[in-house]
Amino acid sequence: MQKTIAIITSLLLSMFSSLVMALDARVDRTTLPDNETLQLELSGSFSAFNLSIDLSPLDKDFRVLDNRRSTNMQYINGNFAAKTTLTVTLEPKRSGLLTIPPITIEGESSKPIQLNVTKAGQGNAGDPNMPAPIDIEVTLDTPDTWVQAQMLLKIKLFQSVELYNLELLGVKELQQMGLTIEKIGENKTYQSKRNNVTYHVTELNYVLYSDTPGSFKLPEFIFEGQMPSRASRYGKRLEARSDEITVNVKDIPKNYPSANWIPARDLQISDDLADNIELELGDSLNRNLVVSVYGQEAAVIPNMPELDSDLINVYADSPELNNQLTQDGMTGVRMDNIALISKKPGRLILPEIQIPWFNTTTGKTEIATLPSRTITIKGSGINQTQPSPAMPAAPQNPGNLAQPPASSANKAAQSAVQNEPQVVKEDAIPGWFLLIFGLVCGIVIVQTGVILRLYQKTPDLPDEPAETNRPTDWDESLPDDFVVCFRIIQKALQDHHLTIESLPDETQSLIDRFRATHYGSSQTNASFTDSDREQLRQQLKQFFEAKTVNAQGPSLYPQ
The whole-angstrom separation of Cα 359 and Cα 149 is 10
* Number of Cβ within a 10 Å radius of residue 448: 11
Residues 70-88 have a mean pLDDT of 73
Within 295-415, strands assigned E span 312-316, 320-326, 329-342, 346-350, 353-359, 364-370, 373-378
Residues 500-525 have a mean pLDDT of 74
Residue 97: helix, strand or coil by DSSP? Answer: strand
The whole-angstrom separation of Cα 325 and Cα 150 is 12
Q: How many Cα neighbours within 13 Å face the side chain of 252?
A: 14
The whole-angstrom separation of Cα 151 and Cα 295 is 9
131-156 as b/e, with b when 16 or more CB fall inside 10 Å? bbbbbbbbebeeeebbbbbbbbbbbb
Residue 367: what are its φ and ψ, rounded to 5°?
Answer: -130, 120
Least confident of 129-138, 194-203, 357-366: 129-138
Range ranked top by mean pLDDT from 71-75, 104-108, 401-405, 438-442: 104-108
* pLDDT score for 447: 58
pLDDT digits (tens, 9 = 90+) for 31-75: 888 777 888 988 887 765 566 788 889 998 998 888 888 877 665
Q: Evaluate if residue 205 carries a pLDDT over 60.
A: yes
Residues 119-139 have a mean pLDDT of 66
% residues pLDDT > 90 (the chain): 35
The whole-angstrom separation of Cα 199 and Cα 124 is 13
DSSP for 182-240? EE-SSPEEEEEEETTEEEEEEEEEEEEEESS-EEEEPPPPEEEEEE--SS-TT-EEEEE
Residue 440: what are its φ and ψ, rounded to 5°?
Answer: -60, -45
Mean pLDDT (the chain) is 77
The more confidently predicted of residues 33 and 521 is 33
Distances (CA, A) of 104 to 40, 92, 486: 14, 21, 65
Residue 479: helix, strand or coil by DSSP? Answer: coil
Confidence of residue 380 (pLDDT cuts 50, 70, 90): low
Least confident of 14-18, 196-200, 304-308, 432-436: 14-18
Cβ atoms of 548 and 556 within 8 Å: the answer is yes
* pLDDT score for 248: 96
Residues 513-536 have a mean pLDDT of 72
pLDDT digits (tens, 9 = 90+) for 215-231: 999 999 999 888 886 75
Residues 509-538 have a mean pLDDT of 75
The whole-angstrom separation of Cα 455 and Cα 355 is 55
Residues 444-455 have a mean pLDDT of 50
Residue 78, by phi and psi: left (phi above 0), alpha (psi -120 to 50) or beta?
Answer: left
Residues 528-552 have a mean pLDDT of 81
> 475-480 — which CB contacts under 8 Å span 24+ positions?
475/541, 475/557, 477/533, 477/534, 477/537, 478/533, 478/536, 478/537, 480/533
The more confidently predicted of residues 483 and 348 is 348
The more confidently predicted of residues 314 and 16 is 314
Confidence of residue 449 (pLDDT cuts 50, 70, 90): low
The more confidently predicted of residues 341 and 407 is 341
* pLDDT score for 184: 93
* pLDDT score for 102: 92
Residues 325-344 have a mean pLDDT of 92
Cβ atoms of 57 and 98 within 8 Å: the answer is no
Cβ atoms of 296 and 264 within 8 Å: the answer is yes
The more confidently predicted of residues 76 and 174 is 174
Q: Which helix (H) or strand (E) holds 266?
A: strand 266-271
The more confidently predicted of residues 38 and 2 is 38
**Of 348, 309, 284, residue with least CA distance to 486:** 284
Q: Evaluate if residue 321 carries a pLDDT over 90.
A: yes
% residues pLDDT > 70 (the chain): 70
* pLDDT score for 99: 93
Q: Evaluate if residue 138 carries a pLDDT over 50.
A: yes
Residues 333-353 have a mean pLDDT of 93
The whole-angstrom separation of Cα 41 and Cα 65 is 14
Range ranked top by mean pLDDT from 303-312, 519-528, 538-547: 303-312
pTM of the model: 0.55
The whole-angstrom separation of Cα 156 and Cα 35 is 14
* pLDDT score for 462: 40
Please tell me the total number of residues recorded for the chain in this structure: 559
Confidence of residue 559 (pLDDT cuts 50, 70, 90): very low
User: Parallel, antiparallel, or unpaired for β 284-294 and 266-271?
Assistant: antiparallel
The sign one gets for the Cα dihedral 70, 74, 80, 83 is negative
- 530-550 vs 505-519: helix crossing angle, rounded to 10: 140
Residues 76-98 have a mean pLDDT of 80
Helix/strand/coil percent split, the chain, to 5: 20, 35, 40
Residue 123: what are its φ and ψ, rounded to 5°?
Answer: 60, -145
* pLDDT score for 231: 56
* Number of Cβ within a 10 Å radius of residue 323: 14
Cβ atoms of 237 and 167 within 8 Å: the answer is no
**Of 162, 143, 165, 164, residue with least CA distance to 154:** 143
